[in-house]
Amino acid sequence: MTGKERSRIGTAIIATAVMLGTVTIPGDERAAAEEYKSKAQKTKLLYTKLDSGKDLEARVIRFDFPPGYVGGKHYHPGDVFVYVQKGSFTVKVDGEMHAFKAGEVYRELPNVPMLASNGSTTEETTIIVFQVGAVGEPVMVKAE
């Protein structure tokens, strides 16, 4: 897949996510939720309030995972769309492992606990995350 094709896929993901909107945690639950802070390198690419008449913002974030990285169990309060830019990425949801490689895109459902890891012990992984959520709401919430 060429860089141009990957760019088109990324653009399509963002456009689709904006059209779909999101499911969010109601205010009282959100206030009680503990934000999960990933130990992966996180780069905020875009946080922007949407002009939809609702209190929503779009977030585009790049995460870089070193070889062998395993994150903590967490969930996302809104729909998340993940584009694997480099390497391989594994997600454990409901006891099932799902693996994705560079150039692939997948959706993480809101409020579903998951565990993310770099599927390689030798290569770095880079993912681009797109999420629409309530302004000020955490991108990730710690799950037990």
Per-residue pLDDT, averaged over 14-27, amounts to 41
Q: What is the pTM of this model?
A: 0.70
Per-residue pLDDT at 9: 54
CA–CA gap between residue 115 and residue 93 (Å, rounded) = 7
**Concatenated DSSP letters of 74-93:** EE-SS-EEEEEEESEEEEEE
CA–CA gap between residue 82 and residue 35 (Å, rounded) = 19
Encode pLDDT of 79-125 as tens digits: 899 999 999 999 999 999 999 999 999 999 999 999 999 989 999 99
The residues spanned by each domain of the chain are 3-142
What is the CATH number assigned to the segment(s) 3-142? Answer: 2.60.120.10
Strand partners, 92: 97, 115
Per-residue pLDDT at 42: 75
126 phi and psi angles, rounded to 5 deg: -125, 130
